[in-house]
Amino acid sequence: MMKTKTFIFSLLVCVCCVQNTVAQTHHINVDIKKPLYSVQKTMYGIFFEDINYGADGGLYAEMVKNRSFEFPQHLLGWTTFGNVEVRTDNARFARNPHYVRLSSPGHKEKRTGLDNEGFFGISLQSASEYRFSLWAKTQQGKSAIRVELIDRESNVLTFQKISIDSKEWKKYAIILKAPSTVANARLRIFLDSSESVDLEHISLFPVDTWKGRENGLRRDLAQALADLHPGVFRFPGGCIVEGVNLETRYQWKNSVGEVENRPLNENRWEYTFPHRFFPDYFQSYGLGFYEFFVLSEDIGAEPLPVINCGLACQYQNWENAQAHVAVSDLEPYIQDALDLIEFANGDESTTWGKLRAEMGHPAAFNLKFLAVGNEQWGKFYAERLEVFVKALREKHPEIKIIGSAGPSPDGKEFDYGWAEMKRLKADLVDEHYYKNPAWFLANANRYDNYDRRMPKIFAGEYACHVPNRKNNFEAALSEAAFMTGLERNADIVQMCTYAPLFAHIEGWQWRPDLIWFDNLRSVRSVNWYVQQLYATHAGTHVLKTTENKLAISGADSLYASSVIDKEKNAVYLKIVNASTQKLKVRYTLLGFAKGEHNFTHTLLHADNLDAENTLDKPFTVVPQSAQYTFSDNILEIELKSQSFNVFEIKL
């Protein structure tokens, strides 16, 4: 949380004093009179991928793992006792046919039942309510189960009995209240009758989800997204769009419709890193495309879906043409893209628009962007993208197409990809960079000399990686410095999204990540605060900001950009001092009225570059705001060493 202190002091700070140190003072001109070009509303956004248990076990608030018994080992995540059988006959959900039958254990002193371990345990908050639901039937028309939440020592924390009163599949739901906070609970269900029962889609959600929705999102994690005020929301990946093989690629059609009938998929991140295998990592698709679109709307971001372009993960199928769909066989993939546009924007008379309406959203989602492929490269990609572009332009010229420049920010493949994007007239090119702090600082001027002609740029995945790949202040400061360059070049850089977004502290494959969590808590990294400061001070137009007529992009370790917000009547000056020295800066705000002006200085600073926010110490490095005044059009300030500063001046 930002603390706001109010100090009023005049920044007509001792002129002679300033003159004495004039050699060290940086003179920066900001031209308020002539805004250069507009900043797109999509400029600062977020990118969600189901990596690090970001969806199941993370943002998606379901607490039961393998709720439909569809994992390849059908009882993974469950411990059974007594007389339990996995069956598929007379299934309720055709695409998730497995269910369990609990039958009498054969003696009144014995029990039949099953426990679910949840995702890294089931964590309960004291006095919170949890909605337990399942589908059930019984052959005789009358049976019962007992549902318990138990702790590690098998003590019953709370329980309820459910009478199963139908021979047909029927949904049952109860609310369980947790008597205390327990990090590592389990869900236990056992037969409480001599008659057998069949159970399917066993689910447990907190009642208090984001916006109170059933099948909802974890409130704290969704709030951390909303508080970023993102302008664009890229989903669902990332490499999971491609899959290890095409069978396991992300197929959006499997992620919509009734939640119980969305088929399970593997997660591409299960076995990616040999030092961190997660054999229980699957995608339930409970958080699917409908939920992604609704979330975009909730947080005010433009939805930006990524669709598979006929390529399986190129890293995992290096140069293996057989792993991909032949260019001549792309038709179903293209149809998926066209149908997705219909799902988002079509009216209720269309097949997919009708489904969207039935799911609860009659109004269109107003989709404007579509990314074809994730992080693709080479001829394999270009020849497939070409077919997509042709079909999309013909049927949906209103949709902006985003192509990929591959995994590296430079090199042979990058140059080839860019040339192809120009040839194919993609609207935006998605560039990715996971690099060290030195790269981020050295590349703050990356876009200053870019070709101003089409296509525009989407920095779709980036994060500064320090040697042991932690989120720390050094990484955040380097990103802040680099982002002055994105902002300065907002005429061509129209979107940027940090990656990855989420990581479960016990289930991560990849770091750094923007938001970390366990089952009960979450923490916003220092990097999160950088993103938030940019997004909440995005402005509407870029202002020319120079020292000695040059962009401020690393000389003496200073990085600066400025914008004006014509709607809010404010100017935002952003400046990073990446050095270990204090630096004096004298802004001349050309066009500013005479008289006294108020401004807010928001500072993100740490003495220790390795400082980080953790679950135990979540507010180690957070922005601090204070208010000051200055006179006329001169604002002088001493910048702390290693600091990211945002000055907000009301006009």
Q: Which lies closer to ligand AHR via its Cβ, residue 280 or residue 461? A: 461
- Minimum CB separation of residue 45 from ligand AHR in Å reads 14
Shortest spacing between CB 83 and ligand AHR, in angstroms: 43
Amino acid letter, 176: L
What is the three-class DSSP state of 356?
helix
Would you say 355 and 290 are in contact if contact means Cβ atoms under 8 Å apart? no
Q: Cβ closer to ligand AHR: 239 or 372?
A: 239
What one-letter code names the amino acid at 459? A
Nearer to ligand AHR, 238 or 455 (CB): 238
Could you tell me the smallest distance in angstroms from the CB atom of residue 613 to ligand AHR?
Answer: 20
Q: Which is nearer to ligand AHR, 105 or 373 (CB)?
A: 373
Q: Are the beta carbons of 534 and 572 closer than 8 angstroms?
A: no
Of 216, 373, 407, 554, which one interacts with ligand AHR (CB under 6 A)?
407
The smaller minimum CB distance to ligand AHR, of residues 374 and 600, is found at: 374
Q: How far apart are CA 317 and CA 416, in angstroms?
A: 20
Q: Toward ligand AHR, which CB reaches closer, 71 or 498? A: 498
Q: Which amino acid is at 508?
A: W
Please state the closest distance from residue 648 (CB atom) to ligand AHR, in A: 32
> Smallest distance from the beta carbon of 279 to ligand AHR, in angstroms?
19
Q: How many CA atoms lie within 13 Å of 142's alpha carbon, on the beta-carbon side? A: 0
- The least CB distance from residue 499 to ligand AHR, in Å, is 4
- Of the pair 505, 611, the CB lying nearest ligand AHR is at 505
Of 117, 148, 302, 375, which is the active-site residue?
A: 375
Identity of the residue, 237 or 243, whose beta carbon is nearer to ligand AHR in the bound complex: 237
Size of the site for ligand AHR (CB under 6 A): 12
Find the angle CA(250)-CA(253)-CA(257) to the nearest 5 degrees: 125
* Per-residue buried b or exposed e for 465-494, using 16+ beta carbons within 10 Å of the residue's own CB: bbeeeebbbbbbbbbbbbbbbbbbbbbbbb
Q: Which of 35, 43, 46, 49 binds ligand AHR (CB under 6 A)?
A: 49
Given a contact cutoff of 8 angstroms between Cβ atoms, the answer to whether 293 and 303 are in contact is yes
**Rounded to an integer, what distance in angstroms lies between the CA atom of residue 641 and that of residue 147?**
58
Cβ-in-10-Å burial (0-12, 13-18, 19+) of 336 comes to middle
- C-alpha 504/C-alpha 507 separation (Å) is 5
The three-point CA angle 35-27-7 to 5° equals 85
Closer residue to ligand AHR (CB): 311 or 560: 311
For the chain, the residue count is 651
Which residues contact residue 169 at a Cβ distance below 8 angstroms, ignoring those fewer than 6 apart?
92, 135, 136, 137, 198, 200
513 binds ligand AHR (CB under 6 A): no
User: CB 598: neighbour CB atoms within 10 A?
Assistant: 13
Query: What is the distance between the alpha carbons of residues 584 and 578, in angstroms, rounded to a whole number?
Result: 13
Site for ligand AHR, residues 322 to 381, rule: CB under 6 A? 374-375
Residues 518 to 577 in contact with ligand AHR, rule: CB under 6 A: none
Q: Are 589 and 571 contacting, i.e. CB atoms less than 8 angstroms apart?
A: yes
Q: x/- binding map, residues 370-399, to ligand AHR, per CB under 6 A?
A: ----xx------------------------
Residue 461 found at the interface with ligand AHR (CB under 6 A): yes
Tell me whether residue 198 or residue 461 sits nearer to ligand AHR (CB atom).
461
Q: In angstroms, what is the minimal distance from the CB of 30 to ligand AHR?
A: 35
CB of 611 to ligand AHR, least distance (A): 24
Residue 50 binds to ligand AHR (criterion: CB under 6 A): no
Contacting residue, 499, 563, 564, 589, with ligand AHR by CB under 6 A: 499
Q: Containing H/E element for 15?
A: helix 15-20
Shortest Cβ 93–ligand AHR spacing (Å): 30
C-beta of residue 217 within 8 angstroms of C-beta of residue 58: no
500 contacts ligand AHR (rule: CB under 6 A): yes
Minimum distance from residue 422 beta carbon to ligand AHR (Å): 22
Interface region with ligand AHR, contact rule CB under 6 A, candidates 233-241, 278-286, 297-305, 642-650: 233-241
Phi-psi group of 106: left, alpha or beta (phi > 0 → left; psi -120 to 50 → alpha; rest → beta): left
**Bond preceding residue 206 cis, omega within 30 of 0:** no
Measure the CA–CA gap between 318 and 314, rounded to whole angstroms. Answer: 5
Judged by CB under 6 A, does residue 510 bind ligand AHR? yes
For residues 234 to 273, the per-residue mask of contacts with ligand AHR, x marking binding by CB under 6 A and - elsewhere, is ---xxx----------------------------------
Taking the C-alpha atoms of residue 365 and residue 303, their distance in angstroms, rounded to an integer, is 8
Give catalytic status of residue 319 as yes or no: no
> By beta-carbon distance, which residue lies closest to ligand AHR?
238
CA distances to 37, 544, 596, 636 from 29, rounded to whole Å, are: 17, 8, 19, 12
Binding segment (CB under 6 A) for ligand AHR, from list 232-240, 418-426, 436-444, 643-651: 232-240
> Beta strands 265-266 and 232-235: pairing type?
unpaired
Which residues contact ligand AHR (rule: CB under 6 A)? Answer: 49, 51, 237-239, 374-375, 407, 461, 499-500, 510
Write out the catalytic residue numbers.
375
